[in-house]
Amino acid sequence: MRKYLLSTSALAGAALLSTTAIADVTISGYSEFGYNQNDHSVAALDGNNMSLDQEVHITFTNKTDSGLTITAVNEFSTEDSANDDVFMTISGGFGTLKMGDSDSVASGYDFNANDLIQEESAGTLGTTATTALATISTDSGIGGDNTRNVSYSIPAVGGLTAGISMGTSETLVGSDDFTAFGVAYNLEASGANVTVGYASSTKEGTVDTDKTSIGVKIAYGDLTLEAGNGTSEASDEDISSQTVGVTYKISDALSVGFATATAEDDLDAGEEYDANHYEAVYTVASGLTAVVTVSDFDYKMGTDADAATANYNGTTTQFKLKASF
């Protein structure tokens, strides 16, 4: 990703007005335009549509005389005039302290093989474009609860890394306080890079929501494999989910990937979800990528009274052109 750096020399004039340390400023961003063909058993969700995702990222970085690195990150979703991640970090020999609106550490330590696929679709189960049709999981990850929180990550000890997050409601009255934890260990074995890890989160409510994720990721040359197992327990939910995926780099310009996901709820008899994702990623030029993804999914409602519709299934074919700056 090309980045435009406004160095301290470009801002030197500001020093005449303030004794505050002047930060380096990095501006980057991306734009993704997509065309989606939806073959869905629900008539309202059947048909074709176009999508746009565009963001601008502005990062301020300052290094203190004492050796601390202080960073402020501002990410803006420009297609819908909304903030994304807005946070500050303080890093040093003690580790990293992160404060603001961002994902918890769980999102960096959970194992979800769907992450090997850039543009997987889960019907409407895992998107915000339309109302979710069910409460079941579509992958084995935890997610980050992108909200106000403070996180601490230890400095790496050999191959061991770990972190913890605590978040609260932004108002005085709220029941969405949460804690999250993650740990991972990375090692080299017979020429392969292996990472194993575990993540968990608890979100308060009338009934707490507890999630866990455990898994392994193996990278060997141009081949990457990942497998994860997740659980989610809440009111009327005892969900277990599994994902397995693989990517292979055919050339410097072309790579292919596959991931599969399954989930079932033990408290809603017969509620099940299955999906397969197939993808090809082609680098057209530096900073410009084309992605073709085919996702087929099948959801069975079972006895889930919270689901907004009956059984459904379908296939979504996506083409996306991505430009990074």
- 3 has pLDDT over 70: no
Q: 30-51+105-324 architecture in CATH?
A: Beta Barrel (2.40)
Least confident of 26-40, 73-87, 93-107: 73-87
Residue 174 has pLDDT above 70, yes or no: no
Torsion of CA 64, 87, 103, 55, to 10 degrees: -120
Q: Is the pLDDT of residue 20 over 60?
A: no
pTM (predicted TM-score): 0.85
What pLDDT, on a 0 to 100 scale, did the predictor assign at position 83?
79
pLDDT at 14 over 90: no
Least confident of 10-14, 71-75, 105-109, 199-203: 10-14
Arithmetic mean of pLDDT, 148-167: 95
Please measure the distance between the N-terminal and C-terminal CA atoms of the chain and give it in whole angstroms.
Answer: 6
Return the pLDDT at 42. Answer: 79
CB 153 within 8 A of CB 96: yes
pLDDT of 171 > 50? The answer is yes
How far is 103 from 199, CA to CA, in rounded Å? 13
C-alpha distance from residue 130 to each of 122, 123, 133, 145 (Å): 12, 10, 9, 19
Closest CA to 258 of 231, 216, 226: 226
The residue that leads in pLDDT, 41 or 277, is: 277
Residue 39: the pLDDT is 92
Residue that wins the pLDDT comparison between 315 and 40: 315
**Average pLDDT over the chain, rounded to an integer:** 87
Note whether 198 and 213 are within 8 A (CB): yes
Residues 213-265 pLDDT 10s: 999 999 999 999 999 999 999 888 899 999 999 999 999 999 999 999 999 99
User: To the nearest whole percent, how much of the chain has pLDDT over 70?
Assistant: 86
Delimit the domains of the chain by residue range.
30-51+105-324
Q: What is the pLDDT of residue 140?
A: 92
Report pLDDT digits (tens) over 124-157.
Answer: 664 444 444 567 888 999 876 667 899 999 999 9
| CA–CA gap between residue 238 and residue 268 (Å, rounded) | 8
Distance set, CA 295 to CA 42, 52, 163, 170, 283 (Å): 16, 19, 33, 37, 21
Helix (H, G, I), strand (E, B) or coil at 14: helix
Residue 19 confidence class, pLDDT cut points 50, 70, 90:
very low
Which pLDDT score is estimated for 81? 78
Q: Are 194 and 215 in contact (CB under 8 A)?
A: no
Whether pLDDT at 199 is above 80: yes
pLDDT of residue 210: 94
pLDDT bucket at 173, cuts 50 / 70 / 90 = low
Instruction: Judge whether 318 and 291 are in contact, CB under 8 Å.
Output: yes
The mean per-residue pLDDT over the stretch 37-57 comes to: 89
The DSSP symbol for 126 reads: T
Q: What sign results for the dihedral spanned by CA atoms 89, 2, 277, 54? A: positive
pLDDT tier, 208 (very low <50, low <70, confident <90, very high otherwise): confident
